[in-house]
Chain A
Amino acid sequence: LAKTTQPISMDSYEGQEVNITCSHNNIATNDYITWYQQFPSQGPRFIIQGYKTKVTNEVASLFIPADRKSSTLSLPRVSLSDTAVYYCLVGDGVKFNKFYFGSGTKLNVKP
């Protein structure tokens, strides 16, 4: 089953670019990689999704190498409001209906 591994926490300063890497060694052919953001006392919120190479939207970029065994969420020029937990999610290609949120990475942005 395609589970994920992420750093437990990261620190950054305002204005810096932050890269959070997720490992998913057992990713299946049909799996997509999705990242969510969660603020305290709120439900997770979708950030970005990709299958391979690079995806970019208005808030983040997602880099996926050719072997797809990892992915990197890139947040450009973070601000204090980006302090949150970031989850990497991989669809389970064996039981395709089931999937796992990763352990999440707590990003702390300092002034």
Chain B
Amino acid sequence: DAGVIQSPRHEVTEMGQEVTLRCKPISGHNSLFWYRQTMMRGLELLIYFNNNVPIDDSGMPEDRFSAKMPNASFSTLKIQPSEPRDSAVYFCASSFRTNTDTQYFGPGTRLTVL
């Protein structure tokens, strides 16, 4: 398996633009996680899906952020409109079942909002 795949790897955009980050989890994994990492706040869990259903999105910072998982092999994290404070590395991870299972992280998307 190729592991968790994220795209793009780097994204530079201007404030106010819409940004869409994409993730393909490992085949057969039922749980998918979106994280954000910054120097100031460390690694934060944004949202967690189980069997394509959002289970907990309390980590999503505000309404500008939304995440979807239309099927077992694809998820998106959208920011609209983007702001400079959204600049961070966004990681997607997947696991076989629950949060106690090993999570496999993707390479991350480095987002810069100018």
User: Contact residues of A with B, CB < 8 Å?
Assistant: 32, 34, 36, 41-46, 49, 87, 91-92, 95-101, 103-104
Find chain A residues with CB under 8 A from B103 CB.
36, 44, 46
Task: Determine the distance from Cα of A17 to Cα of B45 in the docked complex, in whole angstroms.
Answer: 31
Find chain B residues with CB under 8 A from A36 CB.
103
Binds A, one of B12-20, B50-58, B68-76, B77-85: B50-58
Task: Determine the distance from Cα of A87 to Cα of B59 in the docked complex, in whole angstroms.
Answer: 19
| Inter-chain contact B105/A103, CB cutoff 8 Å | no
Further 13 A-B residue pairs, CB within 8 A, beyond A41-B108, A98-B48, A98-B58: A43-B91, A43-B93, A43-B105, A45-B105, A49-B102, A97-B56, A97-B99, A98-B59, A99-B45, A100-B45, A101-B42, A101-B43, A103-B42
Interface size on B, residues (CB 8 A): 22
Find chain B residues with CB under 8 A from A32 CB.
100
Task: Determine the distance from Cα of A95 to Cα of B103 in the docked complex, in whole angstroms.
Answer: 18
* Cross-interface CB contact of B45 among A42, A87, A98, A104, cutoff 8 Å: A98
* Cross-interface CB contact of B43 among A42, A44, A46, A92, cutoff 8 Å: A44
Q: A97-B55, A101-B43 are in contact. Are A91 and B100 (CB under 8 A)?
A: yes
Secondary structure of the A side of the interface?
loop
Which of chain A's residues has its CB closest to B108's CB? Answer: A43
| Inter-chain contact B42/A43, CB cutoff 8 Å | no
CB distance from A103 to the nearest CB of B (A): 6
* Cross-interface CB contact of B106 among A43, A49, A91, A100, cutoff 8 Å: A43
Q: List 26 A-B contacts (CB under 8 A).
A: A32-B100, A34-B100, A34-B102, A42-B105, A43-B4, A43-B108, A44-B43, A44-B93, A46-B102, A46-B104, A87-B43, A91-B99, A95-B56, A96-B99, A97-B48, A97-B50, A97-B55, A97-B56, A97-B98, A97-B99, A98-B45, A98-B58, A100-B45, A101-B42, A101-B45, A104-B43
CB distance from A20 to the nearest CB of B (A): 16
Which of chain B's residues has its CB closest to A101's CB? Answer: B43
| Inter-chain contact A104/B56, CB cutoff 8 Å | no
